Amino acid sequence: MSYFFVIGIFEAISLFVLIEQKKNKNLADKILGGVFLLFGLNILLAFIEYHNRQNGYPFPAFIQTTPSVILLQGPMLWFYVKAQTEQDFHFKPVHLLHFLPFVIMQVHFSFSIYFLPQDVKIQMDATEGFKKMPIYTPMMMMILISPPLYYVWALTILRKYTRRIKNYFSKIEHIYLHWLRVLLISSLMMTIIINITFFVDHFVHLAPFGFLQAASFVFVSIYVLFLGFFGHRQEGIYTKVLLQQVDKPLGPETSINKADEDFIYRLLSIMKEKKPYLNPDLTLSALSTEMGVTEEFLSGILNGQLNRNFFDFVNHYRVEDFKVQCLNPQNTNLTLIGIAYNCGFNSKATFNRVFKKMTNLTPGEFKQHVSIK
């Protein structure tokens, strides 16, 4: 079991060093480095506690040092998501409140455990006497609730961010932050599994506390190894995506008037005749320049009058063009994804997802359907 601890510590520190060596680090990079450093610290403390219990407590100063540190994991990942999805994010004094649970538990443990005589601390840990303390249940509930709450909160922020970028870009593969979603969901699942185990053990004894704690941190060590192996291969996990337009307010929803009606007619004509959607990198900024209006005005028309965000608006034309190109005999030598690329898509995954959403058919099913006709 010790090997897993060592591997987890080494991997977490390696990821921290990797991020620290990156040039032109921004706030998001620094926070992510702090996340991995925190994982490494927590696994190290858990390893020392495990070593204590297995070898007669050679390091009594490191008894029950891991619980409070766990309360930092949720806020740190939350800060990372905020820094990745919010333009010019910076720390404010109010953000210190996120560390309040950690401070409360650290202060409590200082007086109830850390400052106790050495032999008393060892006896308390060896006999699991801390479970009889009145504050044990509230502290355990704090650990059970806080990290999952932050992961869900961060996922909500990420979901709103995804909706927001679709108002400005027709291609979102490089700014979708899919790996960040995987990171949060996997963290949430790992935390839930560990928390359920400790929650059940609180009412129905499953195993000694030391064994459950060691097993949970072995799980965490494997998880950090997973992050290092797969995360490093994902474009964007260690990079900051700057979206200069995303935090601009959208135009207000207003009732249709003659000027807006004329603009919509001109917009649809340009989309049909000039086909700007064939450019896979088309953005709201580029189209608004083409139309001679501000981004805010174009956003207001799309969202308020046409009831579509920019992403769906542009990809609707790409899907319709694909339908036409599928019937063109000149394209019989092209694959479906080849035709899709000619229509402005540049990602197979995005094409399949968008096509299914807009037609309720996969591209293959549609091809088969029109071929029968």
Tokens (6 digits) for 127: 């006999």
Higher pLDDT, 173 or 249: 173
Tokens (6 digits) for 168: 């400005």
Rounded to whole angstroms, what are the CA distances from 50 to 43, 54, 64, 240? 10, 6, 10, 37
How confident is the prediction for the chain on average, in pLDDT?
84
The pLDDT score that the predictor gives to residue 248 is 47
The pLDDT score that the predictor gives to residue 300 is 87
Per-residue pLDDT tens over the stretch 259-300: 888 888 899 999 999 999 999 989 998 999 999 999 888 988
Tokens (6 digits) for 367: 């091809």
Topology (CATH level 3) of domain 2-231 = Rhopdopsin 7-helix transmembrane proteins (1.20.1070)
pLDDT at 237 exceeding the cut of 80 = no
Q: Could you tell me which residues are beta bridge partners of residue 169?
A: 283
Rounded to whole angstroms, what are the CA distances from 89 to 22, 92, 193? 20, 9, 32
DSSP string over 301-318: IIIIIS---HHHHHHHHH
DSSP string over 225-246: HHIIIIITTSTTTTS----TTT
The pLDDT score that the predictor gives to residue 42 is 92
Which range is least confidently modeled, 36-50, 112-126, 143-157, 225-239?
225-239
Higher pLDDT, 195 or 249: 195
Q: What's the mean pLDDT in 114-141?
A: 86
Per-residue pLDDT tens over the stretch 325-344: 988 888 888 899 999 999 99
Tokens (6 digits) for 351: 């094409």
Q: What's the mean pLDDT in 167-183?
A: 71
DSSP-based three-state secondary structure for 82: helix
CB 57 within 8 Å of CB 63: yes
Q: Could you tell me which residues are beta bridge partners of residue 283?
A: 169
DSSP-based three-state secondary structure for 169: strand
pLDDT at 74 exceeding the cut of 80 = yes
The fourth-level CATH superfamily of domain 271-372 is: Homeodomain-like (1.10.10.60)
Residue 86 to residue 317: CA distance in whole angstroms:
30
DSSP single-letter state for residue 361? S
Tokens (6 digits) for 16: 């921290």
**Could you give the angle at which helices 100-109 and 136-165 cross, rounded to 10 degrees?**
160
pLDDT band at 318 (very low <50, low <70, confident <90, very high): very high
Residue 158 to residue 81: CA distance in whole angstroms:
7
pLDDT band at 322 (very low <50, low <70, confident <90, very high): very high
Q: Where in the chain is the domain with CATH 1.20.1070?
A: 2-231
The pLDDT score that the predictor gives to residue 370 is 73
Helix extents (H) in 166-208: 178-203
pTM recorded for the entire structure: 0.71
pLDDT at 232 exceeding the cut of 60 = no
Per-residue pLDDT tens over the stretch 95-122: 999 999 999 999 988 888 888 899 999 9
Tokens (6 digits) for 58: 């050679």
Residue 285 to residue 295: CA distance in whole angstroms:
6
Residue 264 to residue 270: CA distance in whole angstroms:
10
Q: Where in the chain is the domain with CATH 1.10.10.60?
A: 271-372
